[in-house]
A and B are shown apart, each in its own frame.
Chain A
Amino acid sequence: MEFLQPVLDGFGVVLEPTNLLYCLLGVTIGMLIGVLPGLGPAATIAILLPLTYGVEPVTAIIMLAGIFYGAQYGGTITSVLLRLPGEASAVVTVFDGYQLAKQGKAGTALGIAAIGSFVGGTVAIIGLTFLAPLVAGFALDFGPPEYAALALLGILLVATISNGPKVKALIAAAVGLLLATVGRDAFTGAERFTFGNLSLADGIDFVPVAMGLFGVGEILYNLEERHRAVKAPTTVKNVWPSRQDLKTSAPAIGRGSVLGFFLGILPGGGATIASLAGYAVEKKVAKDPSRFGKGAVEGVAGPETANNAAATSSFIPLLTLGIPANATMAIIFGALLIQGVTPGPELITAHPDLFWGVVNSRYIGNLLLLIMAIPLIGVFVRILRVRAAILAPITALITLLGAYTIRNSMFDVLLVVVFGAVGYLKKKIGFEPGPLVLAFVLGALLESSLRRSLLVLDGNLLGMMGRPISATLVILFVAVAVFPLIKSFLDRRTQHAVVDEALRSGPRPGAASGTPSDTHTKENA
């Protein structure tokens, strides 16, 4: 059990009063911003990045863990109370969570979600504690070709698993790679795409890009969308779930934890898939599946547990391989880089204090979330009642002034505003910002690995197939690239079948809108 010593030392770091305080601050502020309609976890973390400047790296990372958990839970709150999921991984929570809220049991839904998130997160951290050193040890042998293949695979997975049209997601990723090349070339020192601008010589900084695309982009988008009135939530009572609710949810929480942990390790929207799978599993094992969608507590417990477990286990690829698995992880990756922490296989041996500080901060963040979430629900409900017209300028000012404080640079603020416009336009035109940010973050690593590979392999990239790990990764890459083509072919065939069947059976009674056939067509499109 010798390896547990650094783990325990990590706890010592995390439990220092300053660190606890910052974690508490992070959770609270993360929830406060995350609960604002339209701002999901990625946007929240991006907006709050400046907060983590100017503090010790470990403290900053601990605060970031708090912000991360707080922001995630903030999304759950809006799912349950406003029927507005903060991000894709909270969509299924709406189905039963909102029904529970309508039955006056919003407190139960939020309480169960908090408890489920806590359990799922904790199970996943324990898994991470044991699995991460193994993965990191394995990855220590990786050379440039392996890293190049891994980064390519990571970007491709995130682009193809996203919700939008695949080609547009790929375009976003490619543009992200191109943006990453701006600045001085690390190998030759040549200036690329700087147009003689000194501020661009060091490359485009990650933080303004993330704050612009996710923060200002969302704020601008919400300006336009907020005329779609959101119903004011009712007051929330009975925050503590009853004994019966807990009993019903316990198995769901157990299943969600395990399911979420494993799905989260996979790159590309782990938490979203985990929450969908969590919901599907609960519906399948339920004695009376018809309760689902009408306020079944398990329908909240399962997916909420699973998405939190997945969000935690998706730290494994980030911390051990240095490859972020989704957009939120990409932002955390950027935040770690700013703190001088380069996630990767060496992190665990070179900086055990930092590594275990990062991991253990997740226990604390999770615990503080549970402690803070339930008593503060009343406060969040009150925030949700504040009119969007008043909240919007506040978030805009936080973002702009925050961006300035990073380096005392108006150029950074300008970048944030410019990337805000880009983010808004991308969203309008149907390009996901996630793949762009991920590719932007990985761009430098990918380029340098590829160039080193070319040197190692004498200019012949096919040599990657001669190394077992990179060969496997390349084969996976090709499989992922080809799979959507096959799938869309199969879909087109099943879609015809579905439409035919729907036309024969006629419109379903009680459908909310549209004929069944056009619903199916949209879903498959």
Chain B
Amino acid sequence: MPIPAREHQDGPVETADAPEPVDAQTPEELVAQWEAEAPPQAGPVANLAASLVVLAIGIGGIVLSVGLGVGTASSPGPGTWPLAVSVLVTVLALAQAVIGRHGGQGGEKFTRYSWITLIGFLTLVAMVVLIPLVGFEIPALALCIVWMRFLGGEGWRSTIVYSLLIVAAFYAIFIAALGTSIPHLI
């Protein structure tokens, strides 16, 4: 079966066609190529922000644990273990803030494509909110359309055909065949 040519733009944002990568000949070259293709590593700001979030979790944990009652070593209270873990989180967060101060400690930079993920996430949240109100069919259809047309760059025709097919298939499997109690309209 011949492979249909890709007729769709690959993303909503116009991308310059990347040159066909030269095929690596040895494992070492392949690893090098992977590294070259990998997104740029996260910088110092991302590291600091991440460390601060972790630090906040740690300190919050310490405060709440102390409120729970710490007890003593021979008779531990409900807060003993959470306190120990929170202290560990706090120490590690401080260590990470120092170690990663120049960036390059793993992680990736957010790119313009990260917007796609944010929109994708928001559609998932919308789905969770809407399913109990209007059943799963319409939110699922909307999710398919958004993900295919706007996030995936599919054409309108294939978007609509595939979205309808997918929702119908899910209905057939989850509602008709398995009889689950997922809220549904029909």
Contacts and interface: CB of A to CB of B under 8 A. Distances in A.
Contact of B92 (A170, A450, A460): A170
B72 A459 contact: yes
Contacts of A219: 120
A396 B140 CA distance: 10
Nearest to B109: A428
A378 B178 CA distance: 29
B77 interface: yes
A167 B82 CA distance: 20
Interface residues of B, number: 94
A390 B162 contact: yes
Interface in A511-525: 511-514, 519, 522-523, 525
A224 B128 contact: no
Interface in B95-128: 95-96, 99-100, 104-108, 110-111, 113-114, 116-117, 120-121, 124-125, 127-128
A192 interface: yes
Interface-central residue, B54, B86, B106, B108, by most chain A CB under 10 Å? B106
Given A165-B105, A512-B33, A181 B85 contact: yes
B143 interface: yes
Contacts of A397: 140, 143-144, 166, 170
Given A292-B27, A387-B152, A174 B85 contact: yes
B110 A193 contact: no
B121 A420 contact: yes
Contacts of B28: 519
Contacts of B15: 227
Given A229-B18, A385-B3, A178 B76 contact: no
B92 A410 contact: no
Given A168-B106, A235-B1, A401-B170, A522 B78 contact: no
Which DSSP category, helix, strand, loop or mixed, fits chain A's interface?
A: helix
A137 to B, nearest CB: 30
Interface string B71-99: 01111111111100110110011011001
A83 B29 CA distance: 13
A417 B32 contact: no
Given A293-B27, A424-B121, A511-B32, A187 B111 contact: no
B30 A94 contact: yes
Interface in A196-217: 216
A87 interface: no
A388 B113 CA distance: 15
Interface string B1-16: 1010010101100010
A73 to B, nearest CB: 22
Contacts of A224: 111, 113-114, 116-117
A408 B181 contact: yes
B154 A192 contact: no
A392 B162 CA distance: 12
Contacts of B78: 185, 187-188, 190, 192
A245 interface: no
B124 A192 contact: no
A393 B143 contact: yes
Nearest to A164: B106
B151 A223 contact: yes
Contacts of A405: 174, 178, 180-182
Contacts of B120: 219-220, 223, 392, 396
B125 A178 contact: no
Given A174-B89, A192-B68, A420-B124, 15 more contacts: A178-B86, A181-B81, A293-B26, A389-B147, A390-B152, A392-B120, A397-B140, A397-B170, A400-B124, A401-B180, A405-B181, A417-B128, A421-B121, A429-B46, A510-B29
29 contacts: A102-B23, A167-B96, A167-B105, A175-B89, A178-B85, A178-B86, A192-B78, A193-B61, A220-B117, A220-B120, A223-B116, A224-B116, A225-B113, A293-B27, A387-B8, A387-B154, A389-B151, A392-B152, A393-B147, A396-B120, A414-B128, A417-B124, A428-B108, A429-B46, A512-B22, A513-B32, A519-B32, A522-B35, A523-B31
